[in-house]
Amino acid sequence: MTTLAAPAKRRLATSVWGVVAWVAGIIFVFPVIWMVLTSFKQEQDAASNPPTWVFTPTLDQYAAVFDRNITPFLLNSLMASVFSTLFVIVLATPAAYALSLRPVAKWTDVLFFFISTKMMPAVAALLPVYLLVKNLGMLDNVWTMVILYTSMNLPLAVWMMRSFLLEVPREVLEAGEVDGAGLLTSIRKIILPIVSPGLAATALICFIFAWNEFFLAVNLTATNAGTSPIFLVGFISSEGLFLARLCAAATLLSLPVLIAGWLAQNKLVRGLSMGAVK
C-alpha cells in the first residue's frame, strides 16, 4: 500500500508545483502582455478605466513612435551596450582566470574589492563623475557611456566568470599541459569550450544592464548621445501621459533584448546553472 501511494504523492506534488510555476510565470509575464496589447490600442482605449479588453488593433502608435525619430536613440543604445559588453568580456575573462584557475596572491581581497564597488550607490558617485566628464569635454558623448557601462558591469562579470571557470576540471588542464599544450592552446581548446555557456550568459546580462540603464544616461547625455530609456521619457509630458504610444515605444525597445535572449537561450540556461553546485 505504501509502495503504491508514494508514486501518487510524487505525481501530486509535481502537479502542484507545476501549477504554482505556471501561476508565477503568468504573474511575471502579465505586465509584458499588457504592454504589448496596449501598444495596439488608441489612446482613449488605453486610458479607459476599467481597461478595455476588446478593441480594434491599430499600428498608429508604432507609426507615431517612428515619426519621433527613434533611430538615433536605438543606435546610441546599441553602440553603448555592444561595445561595453565586448570590453567587459575582454577584461573580465583574464581577471577571472587569475582569480580562479591560477589564483594570484591575496585573491580574496581582490574579489572583495571588485564586489565592494557595487555597494556604492550610483547617485553617490554622480557628482565627481559629472565633473570629471565635463572637464574632459565628454558630456553628451556615447563613448562616455561605453566607459561607464564597462566599469559598472565589470565587477559582476568578474564574479560570474570566476564561478564558471571554477567548473573547469584541473585534471583536464594538467593533462593538456602534460601533452604540451601552452596557455593559449589550453584556453582555446579546453577552457573556452567548457565555459562558453557561462560566457554567453555573462555577456547577455551585461548587455541587458547596459541597454536598460537610465540614471547615468539621463544625467550625462542630451541630444547627441541619448539612449533608448531617455527616448521613453519624452512620452511623459505636461500635455499628459501618452500611454499607448509609450507602450509601443517600450515594446520596440524591448525587442533587441528579447531577441538576444531567445538566440542565446540554450547557452543562457546552461550558463546560469553552471556553478550552482559550488
| Res 123: pLDDT | 85
Between 98 and 144, the higher pLDDT residue: 144
Average pLDDT over every residue of 51-69: 85
User: Confidence class of residue 108 from pLDDT cuts 50, 70 and 90?
Assistant: confident
Average pLDDT over every residue of 225-241: 79
Specify the range with the lowest mean pLDDT, choosing from 10-14, 48-52, 127-131, 154-158: 48-52
| Res 78: pLDDT | 92
Q: Please state the pTM of the whole predicted model.
A: 0.81
Between 216 and 187, the higher pLDDT residue: 216
Average pLDDT over every residue of 204-233: 89
Residues in the chain: 278
**Residue 277 reports pLDDT greater than 50:** no
pLDDT digits (tens, 9 = 90+) for 262-275: 877 766 666 666 65
